[in-house]
Amino acid sequence: MDNQAFEMHGENLRSASHGKQWPQKEERKGGWSLMKVFLVCLLACVITTAIGVLILSLVYVNNPPFVRDTDGGDKGASSSNPEEKSVDVKFQFLNHLGKSKVYTYPGGEIQWARFRNDVNEYLSDEEMAFGKSINNHRSKMTFGTLRIKSKGLRAPHWHFNANEHGYLLQGTAWVGVIGPDDSVVTTYNVTAGQVIFFPRNTVHWIKNVGPDECLFLLFFTTHEELQTLDVDDAFFSTPEDIAARALQPQGGVNFIRTFKKQAEDQAVNLPSNLNELVQNATYVQSPDNLVWQYFYDLKGSAEYPFPGGIFQWARYRINGTGLNETERIFSESLNKHENTLTLATLRIFSNGLGQPHFHFNANEMGYVISGCAQVGVILSGVTASFNIGIGDVIFFPVGTQHYIKSVCDEDLLLILAYSTGNQLETLRMKDYFRRTADHILAQLFFKQQAEFKNFP
């Protein structure tokens, strides 16, 4: 039966592909002709439908990454989608996080600058332009803010598809990280100005143990949607008898049945009767060799001044050059994992300038903590300049030249992430000008060679 069917298809395919021949065949094999005409029409129908569906899916389904990547990303601005034409080019590089949806939980809030598979999830065309941009450029970055109320708990959870790097801007939190295999748990009170690093698939929790709200600025190493599983959701999705056999509690499955799933999503929780539930909270701290794999004192680390401001770095250094013991542990931990980020804080003094420059090996994403600035970005074929203020997220795809000029009375303070676990490679405009021969510049700019002595 199967063979027959296959052969019939084969025949039809041949007929269809040699379209001119089959009318002759039809004459010869008169008895078959009606059947054949029908089958060929049917096949034609199927093919036409398939092509139709394919075209529709190319047009409507979220596939621009591939379409745009083929023209090298330069045309990122001139979108093929007419709806997007009205959106300012700058929104490929700028996201007003403050205007994004606030995901509210009993114990806190989460906001995102991210890519969505379903375009209807974007609140605005501007947000969509940014989401598509970080995805089209294969940025390996997503940004989010996490606020946790005093005593609130970001539920233990893990991310399937991303490392998490973050900066605690304010507050104090007791963090736990559970690694693989021997399931070593590392716990630490992280304080403002420190960096966290949760490798992909490590289970981690964050409990606010201070009186003030915690504010975490988080970078995840994916430009797809982040895939996360909370431990309570994993528990309630496991059949009771399986959970009982895995966890082996006293009272067995009957004890498991006493657990009640909360009606509301408890991603960040804060039970109203917490004081009844918890009496003996202890906040143990693990030894240094464990702690500094996941934490780094960015605020306390060495300052790298430049004429307009100061950099501080949380990054991998080959051979741990210039690092102290705790920093070296962090550097090696970053290097052990794939797709890690380099983090930095950048302070640009009032009126200071972050020179035009670009990076060879990393996309860059940043969040404005304080101050304000004017930013310029040049992609091949696209230029944009715009102002940024507190709560804005910026994105500079690899290779794009950019500058940042601090324009408020207050210093500009940014937290930055670069999508490389290696040392960042950078070229400044002033350096590539200096390194280009005078006569090449003279010819390029139609100017006397001697005039180029004016550049220092």
Angle of CA points 114, 119, 125, to nearest 5°: 75
Shortest Cβ 287–ligand NAG spacing (Å): 11
Number of residues that bind ligand NAG (CB under 6 A): 17
Q: Which is nearer to ligand NAG, 250 or 280 (CB)?
A: 280
**Which one of the spans 33-41, 44-52, 315-323, 382-390 is the region binding ligand NAG (CB under 6 A)?**
315-323
Least gap, CB of 278 to ligand NAG (angstroms): 8
89 or 169: whose CB is closer to ligand NAG?
169
CA separation (Å) from 304 to 284, 312, 344, 348, 414? 34, 6, 11, 12, 15
CB of 285 to ligand NAG, least distance (A): 4
Q: Which is nearer to ligand NAG, 198 or 330 (CB)?
A: 330
By beta-carbon proximity to ligand NAG, the closer residue of 126 and 297 is: 297
Is 355 among the residues that bind ligand NAG (CB under 6 A)?
no
- C-beta atoms surrounding 221 within 10 Å: 25
Report in angstroms how near the CB of residue 290 gets to ligand NAG at its nearest.
Answer: 13
- 86 is a site residue for ligand NAG (CB under 6 A): no
Q: Contact with ligand NAG (CB under 6 A): which of 120, 183, 321, 454?
A: 321
Q: How many CB atoms lie within 10 A of CB 88?
A: 13
Q: Let me know: does 143 contact 218? Beta carbons within 8 Å.
A: yes
Which residue, 189 or 385, is less far from ligand NAG as judged by CB?
189
Q: Which of 86, 248, 273, 319 binds ligand NAG (CB under 6 A)?
A: 319
In this complex, which beta carbon is closest to ligand NAG, that of residue 201 or of residue 335? Answer: 335
User: Please, is 153 exposed, middle or buried when counting C-beta atoms within 10 Å of its C-beta (0-12, 13-18, 19+)?
Assistant: buried
Instruction: Please report how close the Cβ of residue 184 comes to ligand NAG at its closest, in angstroms.
Output: 18
Q: How far apart are CA 219 and CA 340, in angstroms?
A: 10
**Under the criterion CB under 6 A, does residue 327 sit at the interface with ligand NAG?**
yes
Q: Which region holds residue 256: left if phi is over 0, alpha if psi is between -120 and 50, else beta?
A: alpha
Instruction: Please list every residue from 270 through 289 that binds ligand NAG, using CB under 6 A.
Output: 279-280, 283, 285
154-213 residues in contact with ligand NAG (CB under 6 A) are 174, 189, 209
319-354: b (≥16 Cβ within 10 Å) or e: ebeebeebbbbbbebbeebeebbbbbbbbbeeebbb
Of residues 293 through 312, those in contact with ligand NAG by CB under 6 A are 297, 300-301
> Smallest distance, Å, CB 164 to ligand NAG?
20
Residues 217-276 that bind ligand NAG (CB under 6 A): none
What whole-number distance in Å separates Cα of residue 15 and Cα of residue 11?
A: 6
User: CB 144 → ligand NAG: shortest distance, Å?
Assistant: 24
Kindly give the interhelix angle for 33-60 and 2-17, rounded to the nearest 10 degrees. 80
Of 283 and 349, the one with the shorter C-beta distance to ligand NAG is 283
Strand 195-198 relative to strand 164-170, pairing: antiparallel
Binding mask 27-66 toward ligand NAG (x if CB under 6 A, else -) reads ----------------------------------------
Span interacting with ligand NAG, options 70-78, 153-161, 262-270, 325-333, rule CB under 6 A:
325-333
User: Measured from the CB atom, is 111 or 312 closer to ligand NAG?
Assistant: 312
* Cβ-based neighbours of 139, under 8 Å, separated by 6 or more: 223, 363, 365, 395, 397, 419
Out of 81, 326, 335, 350, name the contact with ligand NAG by CB under 6 A: 326
Q: Cβ of residue 211: shortest distance to ligand NAG, in angstroms?
A: 9
Q: How far is the CB of 444 from ligand NAG (least distance, A)?
A: 38
Q: Whole-number minimum distance, CB 402 to ligand NAG, in Å? A: 27
Q: Which is nearer to ligand NAG, 2 or 276 (CB)?
A: 276
Residue with Cβ nearer ligand NAG (34 or 184):
184
List phi, psi (to 5°) of 386. -160, 165
Least Cβ distance, residue 243 to ligand NAG (angstroms): 23
What does each C-alpha distance from 327 to 190, 289, 322, 342, 456 come to in angstroms? 15, 11, 9, 13, 37
In angstroms, how far is the first alpha carbon of the chain from the final one?
Answer: 84
Shorter beta-carbon distance to ligand NAG: residue 170 or 238: 170
User: Where does this chain bind ligand NAG (CB under 6 A)?
Assistant: 174, 189, 209, 279-280, 283, 285, 297, 300-301, 318-319, 321, 324-327
